[in-house]
């Protein structure tokens, strides 16, 4: 293979298999989430139960955060991810059997939602830590962008497909979901084995907390992760989209669907661009600029009274968020030793999940206090203030030129 050929993602067969597995699992999860939500609402008619399903799915990420990273670092990551996908396959099969016999209950859905959240909690750090070993370092930023495109494609297409299939009955969603998880499991097991020797020493509190210590010991990594946490926490306005669609933009349910998909469309388009033209220089300045654009777009959306302008602004918001996410994801993975990637990814995943969940709560609370439009505008202003503060607090991160630069080893590197 020529040097040029080696530098093309499409010639990296392990990455192609990994990407396809990500498409399958992301699509399966999106379809399963839509079907479970509708199934629950049909059973109980309670909006509170819908919220509790999301909370139950998120709970395992908090409960098992330390253990998920430890498992990803101490065991074959392919097998960990495949086992988690097999677990989600069994959950889908349980729903198939329950739906065919009419025995799906509110309590069963809560139990399966918790198990689904647990499987995804262990799968996420394993798959994130696995990616750097599948492509050459020079291709890693493009690989992160391409991997993110799989998630965005599933976010756009899979919920609509799940809703369409559900019209024919819940079995029409649960059965294809099981097939998707089975395919993902087979693709994951076909990846090349881990090259570095496994260290299966007994889990101790010291080793379990190593990911947190490592992040705290590296200011640039801590700055990148905490920037995302605070910016999304303040700037997230997705929880208020129904209010904008109904009372401000006067569009109805069809408009709400377009508003919800607009950020994913922007993120998907940007992920395609970044996979073709990865960011290689001035990564710090680019990341902070993207977060600032995210804040400005949030303000513009809050002030807009035009549906089409709001739609365009949300596309820009999603594209800016994708730039920040790709740079942060590639930077954290490249700056973390392979033996630590699982535990660091677990902590990073908790931060991301917490920012999304708490961001929705923050938006609802401030909207209750100040009104819908002021809440979104204040959130965008808060994102801009956080961006400026983080530039001053983490100047080396703002000045960083490349994703991978040598750093001195620290005490937190010990297993």
Tokens of 313: 């602004």
Supply the angle between the helices 219-235 and 341-370 in degrees, to the nearest 10: 30
Among candidates 321, 349, 149, 329, which has minimal Cα distance to 238? 321
Share of the chain above pLDDT 90, in %: 19
Residues in the chain, total: 415
Q: Which residues contact 300 (CB under 8 A, 6 or more apart)?
A: 309, 313, 380
| 335-385 pLDDT tens trace | 777 777 777 777 777 666 666 655 655 666 677 787 778 888 888 898 899
pLDDT at 300 over 90: yes
- What is the mean pLDDT of the segment spanning 283-307? 90
> Predicted confidence band at 410 (pLDDT cuts at 50, 70, 90)?
very low
pLDDT reported for residue 212: 74
Least confident of 220-229, 378-387, 388-397: 220-229
Proportion of the chain above pLDDT 70, given as a percent: 81
CA distance 256 to 210: 43
Distance in angstroms (rounded) separating the CA atoms of residues 196 and 96: 40
Rounded to two decimals, the pTM is: 0.68
- For 169: left if phi > 0, alpha if psi spans -120 to 50, otherwise beta; the answer is left
Contact 224, 290 (CB under 8 A): no
Q: Say which residue, 103 or 201, is predicted with more confidence.
A: 103
Q: Taking residues 42-66, report their average pLDDT.
A: 75
Return phi, psi of residue 358, to 5°.
-70, -30
* pLDDT confidence band for 155 (50 / 70 / 90): confident
Calculate the alpha carbon distances from 277 to 18, 136, 323, 350, 380 in Å. Answer: 21, 16, 12, 29, 28
CA 352/CA 330 separation, integer angstroms: 15
Task: Indicate the average pLDDT of the chain.
Answer: 79
Query: How does pLDDT run across 133-144, given as a tens digit for each residue?
Result: 888 877 877 787
When pLDDT is averaged across residues 234-252 and rounded to a whole number, the result is: 72
> Residue 2: pLDDT band by 50, 70, 90 thresholds?
very low
Q: What distance in Å separates the CA atoms of residue 29 and residue 166, rounded to the nearest whole number?
A: 15
List of residues 6+ apart from 184 with CB closer than 8 A: 20, 21, 22, 24, 25, 28, 85
Tell me what the mean pLDDT of segment 314-336 comes to: 84
Contacts of residue 171, defined as CB under 8 A and 6 or more positions apart, other chains included, come to 96, 99, 100
Beta-strand runs (E) in 287-399: none
List all residues 6 or more positions away from 87 whose beta carbon is below 8 Å from its beta carbon.
Answer: 115, 118, 119
pLDDT of the residue at 3: 37
Pick 7 or 55 by higher pLDDT.
55
Euclidean distance between CA atoms 59 and 361, whole angstroms? 16
Contact 290, 299 (CB under 8 A): no
Q: Would the pLDDT of 63 be above 50?
A: yes
pLDDT for residue 369: 80
């Amino acid at each position: 293979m020529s040097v040029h050929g080696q530098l093309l993602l499409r010639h990296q067969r392990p990455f192609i298999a990994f990407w396809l597995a990500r498409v399958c699992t992301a699509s399966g999860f999106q379809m399963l989430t839509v079907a479970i939500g509708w199934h629950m609402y049909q059973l109980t008619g309670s909006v509170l139960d819908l919220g509790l399903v999301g909370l139950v799915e998120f709970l395992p990420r908090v409960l098992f955060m330390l253990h998920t990273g430890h498992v990803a670092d101490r065991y074959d990551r392919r097998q960990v991810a495949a086992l988690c996908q097999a677990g989600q396959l069994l959950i889908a099969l349980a729903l198939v059997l329950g739906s065919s016999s009419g025995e799906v209950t509110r309590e069963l859905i809560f139990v399966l939602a918790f198990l689904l959240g647990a499987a995804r909690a262990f799968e996420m750090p394993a798959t994130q830590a696995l990616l750097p070993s599948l492509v050459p370092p020079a291709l890693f930023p493009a690989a992160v962008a391409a991997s993110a495109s799989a998630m965005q494609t599933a976010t756009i297409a899979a919920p609509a497909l799940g809703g369409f299939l559900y019209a024919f009955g819940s079995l029409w969603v649960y059965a294809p979901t099981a097939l998707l998880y089975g395919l993902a499991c087979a693709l994951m097991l076909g990846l090349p084995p881990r090259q570095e020797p496994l260290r299966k020493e007994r889990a101790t509190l010291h080793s379990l907390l190593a990911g947190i210590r490592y992040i705290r010991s590296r200011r640039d990594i801590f700055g990148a992760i905490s920037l995302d946490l605070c910016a999304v926490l303040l700037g997230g306005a997705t929880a208020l989209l129904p209010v904008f669609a109904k009372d401000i933009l006067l569009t109805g349910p069809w408009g709400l669907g377009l508003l919800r998909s607009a950020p994913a469309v922007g993120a998907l388009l940007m992920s395609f661009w970044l996979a073709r033209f990865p960011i290689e220089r001035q990564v710090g300045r680019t990341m902070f600029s993207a977060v600032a654009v995210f804040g400005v777009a949030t303000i513009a959306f809050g002030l807009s009274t035009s549906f089409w302008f709001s739609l365009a602004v949300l596309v820009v918001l999603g594209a800016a968020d994708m730039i920040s996410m790709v740079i942060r994801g590639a930077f954290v993975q490249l700056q973390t030793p392979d033996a630590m990637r699982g535990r660091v990814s677990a902590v990073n995943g908790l931060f991301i999940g917490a920012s999304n969940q708490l961001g929705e709560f923050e938006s609802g609370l401030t909207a209750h206090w100040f009104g819908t439009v002021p809440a979104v505008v204040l959130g965008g202003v808060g994102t801009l203030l956080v961006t400026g503060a983080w530039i001053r607090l983490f100047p080396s991160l703002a000045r960083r030129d490349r994703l991978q630069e040598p750093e001195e080893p620290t005490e937190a590197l010990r297993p």
